[in-house]
Amino acid sequence: MTIKISSGFPGGNILIRGVNGNRIELSPDLRDSSAMWFYWYFEAEFDAPGEYEFHFDSSAIGTRGPAISTDGGQTWLWGGGKLEDSEGFRYLHDGKMKKVRFCMGIPYLQEDWQRLGLPVAELCRSRRGRSVELFTHGAGPHKYFFSARHHCCEMAANYVIEGVIEAARRDSRPDFTLFIVPFADKDGVENGDQGKNRKPHDHGRDYSDEPIYPEVRAIMELILREQPEVIVDLHCPWLRGGATNETIYIVGVEPYDAQKRLERFSALLEPESKKGNGIHFFESDNVPFGSLWNTRENYTQGKTVSKWAIGLPWKPLSASLEIPYANASDQTLTPELWRTFGQALWRAARKYTDQ
């Protein structure tokens, strides 16, 4: 058995530590990250059918194993058998497709966004000269802002964004304007970076008087100019386990009045999420400020967009939501379920401004 591993495509990320027959030793490529993180995405080219084992030297496999694509990243399914005695997975190659892609989650890249066929403007140019998309819909007085990928590996958030867009485009009331930045770290998304803990700080900690990333500067200018009533920033948590990594939740804040706005929004989102067969959100899963990881010490590098927006004079709802990579409790997550939750998120945002 021989195998060829590559990551030379948009979003690709892997380090090869060794190949010994059907056993492949791998690591996530941390590049300019200051701490260990878990994002990886690679393609394997097989010369023969058989069972192959992929071993990692750090946390790298979620609760549903790897996401697998046999059509070059167009469609994905959870699969592969998790290894019992080490961090990794086994894959039984049937010999039908020579090239198979594997990822720690279900990727979302510029090509996925472009398949939507949406009219977009340019928010700004990234550090490497890429066009950073800004989607705008409507021209009414109630304004809503959504963003994703401040940490570029957190791709499940984009499927939620798609659901927000679907619901907003079906919204028959002409009294709103929706702004969406789908890729707040555009270079990181396409380059396949971790994004989290980027040196000297990442996009998610850049909201200051002098932001170093052009996307952040442009988002701040947009928010200050348009003054949205609702600001929602979407993230993904740690890979698996623990008290907060396999549920959808809202990150609690201070001061008191900003937290009360989050609680009012949570009370609207919970029943909306339970309509149909989507992902259920429970207000009781929210992480209050001062508990678990959500402490002042976690923000010493700088403010997030939601924490920065809390201090704006028109007092918007400013919410940061965490969307799990693979499962919400015992429910296996898929693009369809993430989109359904995005639709609920839009309905709750509209009800918030109706009150």
Q: Where are the domains of the chain?
A: 3-103, 110-354
- Residue 200: CB atoms within 10 Å: 11
Instruction: State the 10-residue block means of pLDDT for the chain, 355 residues long.
Output: 92 97 96 96 95 96 96 94 91 90 98 97 98 98 98 98 98 97 98 97 98 98 98 97 94 97 98 92 96 92 96 98 97 97 98 95
What letter does residue 33 receive in the DSSP assignment? B
The CA angle 177-148-185, to the nearest 5 degrees, is 115
Cα distances (Å, whole numbers) of residue 281 to 4, 47, 249, 284, 324: 42, 45, 7, 9, 12
Helix (H, G, I), strand (E, B), or coil: what is residue 325? coil
How far is Cα 13 from Cα 22, in angstroms, rounded to an integer? Answer: 20
pLDDT of residue 1: 65
| 340: alpha, beta or left? (left if phi > 0; alpha if psi -120 to 50) | alpha
Let me know if the fold of 3-103 is the same as that of 110-354.
no
The pTM score is 0.97
- 71 burial class (0-12, 13-18, 19+ CB within 10 angstroms)? exposed
Residue type, position 165, single letter: I
Q: Which residues contact 296 (CB under 8 A, 6 or more apart)?
A: none
Architecture of domain 3-103: Sandwich (2.60)
Give the up-direction half-sphere exposure of residue 1: CA atoms within 13 A in the CB hemisphere.
Answer: 21
Tell the CATH superfamily of the 110-354 domain: Zn peptidases (3.40.630.10)
User: What is the end-to-end Cα distance of the chain in Å, rounded?
Assistant: 64
